[in-house]
Every structure is written in structure tokens, then in C-alpha cells.
Amino acid sequence: MSIRIAPSILSADFARLGEEVRAIDAAGADYIHIDVMDGHFVPNLTIGPAVVKALRPHSSKIFDVHLMISPVDPFIKDFADAGADIITVHPEAGAHVHRTLQTIKALGKKAGVSLNPSTPLSAISHVMDLVDLVLIMTVNPGFGGQSFIPLLDKISEARKMIAATGRAIDLEVDGGITVQTAPQAIAAGADVLVAGTAVFKQGPDHYASSIKALRGD
């Protein structure tokens, strides 16, 4: 299974975001992970659709947009129009996650669903047919730089649920990914790793080597 790395621009220099996206693209990022927070669903405020739209010309890589906003439904089309390729939502962000996923698919985008550390996998067992990506949070969402919660059994269970569908569904892990924790997540079945701090903390000269190290090359 090929491992893909999704640097989270939450840890980038927000004053130079376009340049940062070009730099991680050139450094070998597979997805560009964009963390959208509303100060309500999570205790932080970040990026809206206008910023996603402004970044779109800076990379042709997959824009992996992680929506931590509630209600989420009124904003799905805005992020689709802004250039998101994958739109990931939390089941708690609206009353009807099945409908939300249908909305994403109807807009021609890939649909992801994200589970907080305390949210059981059973929350998505009846929507797997609509899902292109399962995101297992290994921190409580809201901030970069937190410690990895070792939910390795949950990742393994998610891998089994995906295998049972017979479809190609990404299994992404987000939060506290480092060169120490990446191999654990991969061994448990993850194939896409989100990394903010671990990619950006050493500065642009190290983006390529950091991405390579996380991939385990």
C-alpha cells in the first residue's frame, strides 16, 4: 500500500500561504490538508472558502479540506466551488451526515468523514457506501502540535471496515503524526497521514526530507 502524506497548512506561515503551498507541493506532498475551524465546533478559527479559492492556483495537488464547522451543510457548496477535491465532515457537525455526504457527492467531490477520538466507528457503518475517505482523529480537533492519542485498534478496525466494502477508501490519520508515531499508524492500516508540525517545524529547507521521513522512504 502506498503511503500518502498530507501536510496540514495549519502549521504553515499564514502570511505566505501561497508560497508555502507551492513549497510543500514541490517537496512531495500528496494532498494539501486544509483545516477549516469555526470557533464553535472546535475552539479555534482558521480558514474560509475565500482562502481555499486563493490557494487553488498555487497547486494542482489534491485539496483535502477538513471541515471542523457546525452547521456544515450551508458551507459545502462554497468549499466545492473554491476548489476542494475531498471534503471531510464530522458526523456531529449536522443532524444528517448521510445527507451531507450525498450533497458532497452530488457536487462531484470526494466525501470524507472524520471521527473524533471519542466517536465510535459505528457512527459511519451505515454510510460507508458514500464515503471515499475515513479520517481517524488522533487528537481532539482544534489545534496543531498536540500529542498522538494511540487509537491503533480503532485504525485497525477502520481498515477492516474499509476492506469489507471492497472499495478504494482512503484511511487517513490526523493529529500528532511524527516520525515516531507515523510507523504505528501505518502498521495499524493508515494509508494517508496528515502532518502539520512534523512537516513545517524545521522550515522550508526541510520540507522534502520531513515528508520523506514520514512516508518511511
Q: How far is the CA of 183 from the CAs of 79, 124, 177, 213, in angstroms?
A: 32, 25, 9, 10
Number of Cβ atoms within 10 Å of the Cβ of 105: 15
Taking contact as CB under 6 A, which single stretch among the options 3-11, 93-101, 123-131, 165-173 is the one that binds ligand DX5? Answer: 3-11
Q: How far apart are CA 198 and CA 196, in angstroms?
A: 6
78 included as an active-site residue: no
* 86, 62 Cβ separation under 8 angstroms: yes
Q: Catalytic residue, from 35, 64, 132, 191: name it.
A: 35
Among 143, 157, 152, 90, smallest CA distance to 119 is for 90
Nearer CB in complex with ligand DX5: 102/117: 117
132 binds ligand DX5 (CB under 6 A): no
Alpha helices in the chain, H assignment, sequence order: 17-26, 49-55, 76-82, 97-106, 152-165, 182-188, 197-200, 207-215
Residue number, 102 or 123, with CB nearest to ligand DX5: 123
Cα–Cα distance between 41 and 44 in angstroms, integer? 9
Among 144, 174, 207, 211, binds Zn ion (CB under 5 A): 174
Q: Residues 172, 192: contact at Cβ < 8 Å?
A: yes
Query: By rule CB under 6 A, what string of x and - marks binding of each residue 70-89 to ligand DX5?
Result: --------------------
> Looking at beta carbons only, is 37 or 161 nearer to Zn ion?
37
**Number of neighbours of residue 60 by Cβ within 10 angstroms:** 10
User: Which window, 21-29, 59-67, 105-113, 176-184, contacts Zn ion (CB under 5 A)?
Assistant: 59-67
Q: Scanning residues 190 to 209, which ones bind ligand DX5 (CB under 6 A)?
A: 194-198
Grid coordinates 473524533 are at which residue? 116
Name the minimum Å distance from CB 163 to ligand DX5: 25
Contact between residue 192 and residue 29 where contact means Cβ atoms under 8 Å apart: no
Q: How far is the CB of 164 from ligand DX5 (least distance, A)?
A: 26
Whether 174 is catalytic: yes
Please pick, from the candidates 32, 139, 169, 192, the single residue that binds ligand DX5 as defined by CB under 6 A: 139
Q: Which of residues 51-70 bind ligand DX5 (CB under 6 A)?
A: 66
Active-site amino acid positions: 35, 174
- Contacts to ligand DX5 by CB under 6 A: 8, 10-11, 33, 35, 66, 139, 141-142, 144-146, 174-177, 194-198
